[in-house]
Amino acid sequence: MKFLTLVLGLLVLATLGAQEGQDGKVAVTGAVATHDPTVVKVGQTYLRFSSGRGVPVAVSPDLIHWELGGQVFSQNPEWTSVKIPGSGDFWAPDVVLRGSQWRLYYAVSTFGSNRSAIGLAVNQALDPKRPTEGWVDRGTVLESFREDDFNAIDPQIAQDKAGEDWLVYGSFWSGIHMRLLAADGTLVPRGQDVALASRPEEPHALEGAYLLSHGGNYYLFVSFDFCCRGKRSTYNIRVGRSESFAGPYVDRDGKPLLQGGGTLLKASEDPDYGPGHNSVLDDGGKEYIVYHTYDARYGGMSRLRISLLGWDDAGWPLVP
């Protein structure tokens, strides 16, 4: 029955758009080497932001053909090396539009450490022809220290039913959390910390959360296991669901994500290994899941993947 549901869901996906193949996948070309991608649409142009030096940007007219567009920061903001010695590349950006202001959240850390910070840059007039211009750094939004039980990386901005923004974040340690943001995009002082997902047993490996509202429910996507090992990467995308924005989130079998639950959504499949760190693009009512894999055809290099996000009759997401 689950197999039949998946097949029917993919048939629905294949009828939704001309730029996707019959399997619901977008056949991306050009500058598709990327890690932790997120895509926004400005006018008729798609902009992709990802992990890397200065937050790399790529540009596409159609989600298919991608060209490099520079980087948000020509030089890293001074605070990043002062607070996080040894940091270089910025990780896992998330970009949202609030009013007329674009906000870019990015992570500053070093591999394997929870001495980390999430920064914020803003742009009052993001020009898709010059996507690296106009960004002004606003400094630190959230920090974690070695004595903390959380890791302030992998930011994502989710909005509740009241229209308030929350910063979703976390990696390993005690897992995924979120905190309320003020109207200017910074943390509400002494705001509540809400725990969303955790893997209590070793190796505590989950990160890259994305909280999505769909069909009256909320869905929490997370990446289990290990990235960044090329063809040996074991990343996989999991999901849980809740009727409440703050949870509790449970998987299809009813296991809470706070207890290590998570329904498998996308796993390794030759030649794409370690699919993970997804975001979701809502393009005029069509939802696309955006993520990276490690492509065995290119020596395990991380590369962009985009597919239509479908839904089965029980309200669970489908990814081809």
pLDDT at 13: 44
Residues with Cβ within 8 Å of residue 35, at least 6 apart in sequence: 50, 51, 52, 277, 292, 302
pLDDT at 1: 45
pLDDT at 23: 86
pLDDT at 19: 72
CB 131 within 8 A of CB 59: yes
The CATH number of the domain where 135 resides is what? 2.115.10.20
Q: What is the pTM of this model?
A: 0.93
* Catalytic member of 207, 225, 272, 295: 207
Is 293 contained in some domain?
yes
Model confidence pLDDT, tens digit, residues 133-152: 999 999 999 999 999 999 99
Is 19 contained in some domain?
no
Q: Is 137 a catalytic residue?
A: no
Is 13 contained in some domain?
no
Is 16 contained in some domain?
no
CB 113 within 8 A of CB 159: no
Model confidence pLDDT, tens digit, residues 36-53: 999 999 999 999 999 999
Tokens in use for 240? 């849980």
- List the chain residues with pLDDT less than 50: 1-18
Is 10 contained in some domain?
no
pLDDT at 5: 43
Is 150 contained in some domain?
yes
In total, how many domains does the chain have? 1
Q: Is 270 a catalytic residue?
A: no
Residues with Cβ within 8 Å of residue 292, at least 6 apart in sequence: 34, 35, 36, 37, 275, 276, 277, 302, 303, 304, 305
Model confidence pLDDT, tens digit, residues 53-74: 999 999 999 999 999 999 999 9
Phi-psi group of 31: left, alpha or beta (phi > 0 → left; psi -120 to 50 → alpha; rest → beta): beta
CA distance 132 to 122: 11
Q: What does the radius of gyration of the chain's CA atoms come to, in whole angstroms?
A: 18
Q: Which domain holds residue 146?
A: 25-318
DSSP 38-96: EEEEETTEEEEE-SBTT-EEEEESSSSEEEEEEES-SS--HHHHHHSTT--SBEEEEEE
Is 4 contained in some domain?
no
Model confidence pLDDT, tens digit, residues 94-103: 999 999 999 9
Is 266 contained in some domain?
yes
* Catalytic member of 36, 154, 225, 251: 36
